[in-house]
Amino acid sequence: MTVDNPAGQVGGGHSYPVTVSVDGVPVTGRAGQTIAAVLLAAGESSWRTTSFGDAPRGLFCGIGVCFDCVVEVNGLADVRACLRRARDGDVVVRQHITLPRETP
């Protein structure tokens, strides 16, 4: 990708493949796709669990308003997968954060 071509499109509007590692497994997408789009195209519907109850979460709003789609990307936690464009070589890790419960 270049500054003149941020989506990584090559002649005729076609984008080139990118490979990201998701929990150590290589997943291929297309340049310009968000990490959420790459995960959905690979058949993944959830990539995070809730703090209480371990309920699965993935794409909900798709526009960065909620935080259901957060993942760790290249060591940075709480990245919204719906906003972050996938880059070749990205290392994506599913998140599970356990928050302390309040004691009565």
Q: Domain of 16: which CATH number?
A: 3.10.20.440
36 DSSP 8-state letter: H
Residue 69 falls inside a structural domain: yes
Question: What tokens were used for 69?
Answer: 């789609």
Query: How many domains are contained in the chain?
Result: 1
The residue segments making up the domain with residue 17 are 9-95
- Give a yes or no: residue 1 inside a domain: no
Distance between CA atoms of residues 91 and 15, nearest Å: 20
Cα dihedral 18→33→11→28 (10° resolution): 30
The reply to whether the predicted model has a pTM over 0.75 is yes
In a domain, 100, yes or no: no
> For each successive 10 residues of the chain (104 residues), what is the average pLDDT?
50 78 96 95 88 84 90 95 96 77 58
DSSP strands (E only) in the chain? 9-10, 14-15, 17-22, 25-30, 48-49, 56-57, 70-73, 76-80, 91-96
